[in-house]
Chain A
Amino acid sequence: MTALLPRRGLAQILALIVILAVDRVVSPQFFDLRLQDGRLFGSLIDVLNRGTPVALLSLGMVLVIATRGIDLSVGAVMAISGAIAASLADSHGLPVVLAAALGAGLVCGLWNGFLVSVLGMQPIVATLILMVAGRGIAQLITEGRIVTFSSPDLVWLGNGSILGVPVPVAIALGMLILTGAVVRGSALGLLIEATGGNARASELAGVGTRAMILAVYVWCGVCAALAGVIAAADIMGADANNAGLWLELDAILAVVIGGTSLFGGRFSLVLAVLGALIIQTMNTGILLSGYPPEFNLLVKAVVVLAVLLLQSPKLSGFSGVVARLRRAKA
């Protein structure tokens, strides 16, 4: 098994450390933690908590991108599952609510996967359909209103804590471990990387590339649905217009920062989640600095550029590239 943080993750870890250091300068209390009512509070916890939706999205997205695809619909899927969860929360138990919301994500994933793997549509176009239509579906479910709820079970999912850790963070961690176990514990990881690296060759080697591609879109849909439920639980309501809006782009960004190429092939789940955390650490830092949030976008662009440059093999003498070359020579 590969180590938790592969050697090629050096650029991402460096970036995170630098951003954390800047955050510390901007806000001296950044690393302060305190325990209150059995739950940890502090900026760091905030980063983890706020970063959960994008982290969950990136877990599905990284697999889709590894097969040389992309899923633009995850933000819309979040809106759908959030709307379903909010609509059912006060009339049904948590298991039913979760099953319905995640089931919707699964169906959305099947739809995307069907378009891409069976009909052979280009992923960007295929998922664009649901990106547009999905938000409409969510609005139909909420009938255009912001649906609020008070079910304590669902609220706990967004605001509760387990052993001091916020529930969303625990869920994201659990999903990372689950996805990692499934992908790296079975042959799925290798076959996904082969499919993304060269689909024709993989098919001729007997790999069931279609089923594989269908599966990653389904998983991406389920992850997005879970992110949608948590986002709804967090604000105790579902806003079909704004839930998960543009988050597909953050998820793609997280995957790219995590070093997975949009051309498919090699991927890393851990680094994709790390990418999501880098994005959120920046967001929180800018919020704390008092600068207007508009700066966020500019700073994000600069950091992304920096991380990508650090990964670039053309800038020799740095990080994973060197490590890999050394390993190859050994």
Chain B
Amino acid sequence: MTGNLLPPALIFIAAALLIPFLRGRTKAMYMLLIPVVSFTILMKIPMGNTWICDFWGYTLIMGRIDKLSLVFGYIFTIMAFLGVLFALKVKDDLQHVSAIVYAGATLGVVFAGDFLTLYLFWEIMAVSSTFLIIASRTDAARKAGFRYILVHLVGGLFLLAGIVLYIQQTGTTAFDYIGLSGTASYLIFIGIALNAAAIPLHAWLPDAYPMGTPTSTVFLSAFTTKSAVYLLIRTFPGTELLIWIGAFMVFVPIFYAVLENDIRRVLAYSLLNQIGFMLVGTGIGSQLALNGAVAHAFCHILYKGLLFMAAGSVLQMTGKIKCTEIGGLYKTMPLTCLFCIVGAASISAFPLFSGFVSKSMVVTATVNENLVLVYLILQFASAGVFHHAGIKVPFFTFFGHDAGIRAKDPSWNMVLAMGIAAFACIFIGVFPQPLYNLLPFTVEYIPYTGAHVVGQLQLLMFGALAFALLILSGYYPPEIKSINLDVDWTYRKLGSAAYRTLDTALNAANRRAETILMALVKGFSRFFLQIIVHMALFFSVNLWLVQGYRDKHLALKKQRLYMDLVHGSLPIGMGAAVAVSFVILVYVLT
């Protein structure tokens, strides 16, 4: 049945290698076709494990097909299509190839049924995404890309260590539910949590993602973190720790998002906040909560992609992306503005937009489990999300003060990609049932009840009221050109400070050691020189005494010999004579 179908991951990766050889319209069609072909394969593929092969006595499973992996497979393929469409006119093969390989590796991770396959694609994902970060070829991007790959290689090592221990303990490479118990599981957990940007392992995300090109950030926003969320749902559902990590994540990043000046950094922090919702759902682990986490990941990929596309369009057309530099763009970029508002409404979970039908599942799950504090945190964050992503992003970009920039909407392919994503956001919001049918568990859930709609609208609209009043009264923190310290400070400043400290300390120690050593060597050499000098003097003086030198003459000859010996300016014949006499002396004495 599946004999004539190839794994989507391999299709993506193999097909990517041909991209540089194609030109013009053929190339565009070819790139768009890759996700389309993969999607059709996913539609046809039967449930169960496929694409199994043996590798050095281990069984590799490249196709673990169940409802959970399929729903992630669908959305990643859809997002790959939208990302390719958005980046269609980019004249940089490196970006195209690495983006497609990256998407393929993500699919490989999602459908991996064993740890070896997983790890292979995991590392391909890390490497290919690094190329997307450095694609803008600026110095800042290169440095951020370097930090990014270092962090991910460390995370990969944790995962690898965990995998090795796990295989040793269980004797199998296959994996499913793991749960937190024992060293192996903790190592695996850390490795995956780092990719999910779980606090405190999150700083790489707001550090690196905003450095991408206008188009590459769209890919970055979708794949790495959500494939890690998928793995957490599969391997660590119901882990209580995740509830608290998630609650912390929905809470803390929104403060940063309020303060950040760079729109894509605002979006990066709100990305962390949204992953927080998914982790809370994963941590609760009830069927409704897991469904909520999956549904939220699905919707989130679309609207976050849409928001990054809108931000990318602004960056592409104006060359600027900081709140202090843009504003009033609705006048000349009405379509981008409209799509951005759709994305903003979706992330804010407005009724009739996609975030509403997915986020509320997680929130309802906290109610069912009677987690009052978590519930209040999530509601606080919901208002906060609307505040920074829902209002701040569109307001400061497209409204606010008019910066006088008259950039137009971007090219047709970018508008089309945003249009499709925006349509999907509204479609899911209005007709959530098709999405619910894709979810791993069959749970009856009705998002549109009067109380829920009114409650959510009150929460959001009165949050907006607070924004309006604060802006009008001038109390709202002004946008300032600045950066805000985050955990990456530890390895950027503390790391280099530690380097400097070690440099000073160790090099000082080095110099000290050198001085001491030199003093010792000099001492030794002087000591042995003195022995030789005095032996030579002893022999010579006796000789001279025998020869009949006395008083002044003798003193002068002694003085001259001494100086010659100490300064090494002895005539060669004399030196040889001393050496020979020394040898004779040794010979006689022994």
Query: Are A and B associated in one complex?
Result: no
Question: Interface on B for A, CB 8 Å cutoff?
Answer: none
Question: Interface on A for B, CB 8 Å cutoff?
Answer: none
